[in-house]
Structure 1
Amino acid sequence: MGRDQRRVVRALVDAHGQTYAEEAGIRLKDTPQPLYRLLVLAHLLSARISASIAVAAARALGEAGLRDPRRMAGADWQERVDALGRGGYRRYDERTATQLGDGAGLLTERWGGDLRRLREEADGEVPEVRRLLQEFPGVGPTGADIFLREAQLVWPEAAPYLDRKALRGAERLGLPAAPDRLVALAGRAEPAVLAAALVRAAVDKDVAEDTLDRADRPGDRSDG
């Protein structure tokens, strides 16, 4: 007998449903500073480096006061490098420090430091938002996907946003690869939370194994 897919999704979300923004200490709201910090986090997470290091680096940048584009652009390059280093983000620190400065300048000059204006320019059309996000140095398709996966919590027109990495997590867990079906299985769980949990299963086999173990344990099988 196959596993109850609803139990698998519930086990995944309950145990591993923390967004990366939350892990990085970002209280996501539809306001300029949290959205900018999310963009920085998405940039860091898109590099070939562990998510834990990217999250730590995002925290370190915040602790250094580099929480908005004007402060980021106005900071000394070495200040950005040092903050990234404190987070353990050393492999790409010099290039990333430059990109963060340039990207902050672009955001300030073109959209007044407010990503909501980028959203308005795109008329809320998610493919256009995704394209515009890739104009920031260092934010390619992967970074844009990460941003939208998390931003769907406050930009509901993006939901459900389950990119290829999230769908790889679903495949690893024996779940359907259709976003609408996954959201239906998740019930009341926020799509952003579901997406983050699926990505964690995609990148960490221990998360996937733990989820399936939890789903197989005897207990309440109701959907409530």
Structure 2
Amino acid sequence: MSRDPGRVLRELLDAHGRTYAEEAGIRLRDTPQPLYRLMVLAHLLSARIRGSIAVATARALHEAGLRDPRRMAGADWQERVDALGRGGYRRYDERTATQLGDAAELLTERWGGDLRRLREQADGEVPETRRLLQEFPGIGPTGADIFLREVQRVWPGIAPYLDRKALQGAQRLGLPDDPDRLLELAGSTDPAVLAAALVRASVDRGVARDALDHAD
């Protein structure tokens, strides 16, 4: 039976229409601290680990006071390891603790702890912004894509950003894999919310199955 793509997308958004930043308790604004917390979240989510663990670990780092690059770089390595462990991020905790410290130092030294300066250096160009993000230890192409999908909510020059992972989710749902068509189907939905919901369908077959079942 052919399903109405608009209804499939509405079912997905009704059930999973929230960003990963929201899930991690980050009130995203175009200011240094929430942008930094988003970068840390993107770093954590880019590993081969469950998204729920990455989100819980981002919360644990915040609760440990490691919420800006100065505090992250100033913490000793064991403090970072312990906070990662409390979030359940044990498989990669030692390497990630080192990367987080090194990335915080780079952000402080090169961009004064403010990711808006990185955006300015890139002249707002998406490919250059994506390239510069990958200069941070632990942020590869996947991490850069995660950051850009989420930050488009407060960096409108990035939007719409529907990357390969989001489009894979659309394909799994039988939706068009053309970004313009997806945006049309989504109507007034924030592109960051659309991207996050599609990614959830991409990484979790159960999410896609539920949306399809409810659209019948």
Q: Classify the TM-score, shorter chain.
A: over 0.9
SS at match of 1:49: coil
Deviation at 1:160, TM superposition (A): 1.1
Q: Which residue of 2 aligns with 1:19?
A: 19
Please list, as runs of the form range in 1=range in 2, the aligned pairs for 1:96-135 lying within 5 A after superposition. 96-135=96-135
Please list, as runs of the form range in 1=range in 2, the aligned pairs for 1:12-161 lying within 5 A after superposition. 12-161=12-161
Does residue 174 of the first structure (1) align with residue 151 of the second (2)?
A: no
Take 1:83 and 1:33, find their aligned partners in 2: how far apart are those partners?
18
Take 2:150 and 2:118, find their aligned partners in 1: how far apart are those partners?
16
Deviation at 1:157, TM superposition (A): 1.2
TM (norm. structure 2) is: 0.99
- Structure 2, gaps ≥5 residues long: none
Task: List structure 1 runs of 4+ shifted beyond 6 angstroms.
Answer: none
SS at match of 1:156: coil
**Over residues 25-69 of structure 1, what are the superposed CA-to-partner deviations in whole Å (9 max), with x where a residue is unaligned?**
100000000000000000000001111111111010000010000
Take 2:61 and 2:184, find their aligned partners in 1: how far apart are those partners?
37
Deviation at 1:215, TM superposition (A): 1.4
Q: CA RMSD in A?
A: 0.7
Deviation at 1:133, TM superposition (A): 0.1
Q: Which residue of 2 aligns with 1:199?
A: 199
Deviation at 1:204, TM superposition (A): 0.7
Instruction: Say how many residue pairs are matched.
Output: 216
SS at match of 2:30: coil
SS at match of 1:26: coil
Take 1:18 and 1:156, find their aligned partners in 2: how far apart are those partners?
18
Take 2:11 and 2:183, find their aligned partners in 1: how far apart are those partners?
14
- Give 2:112's aligned amino acid: G
- Give 1:117's aligned amino acid: R
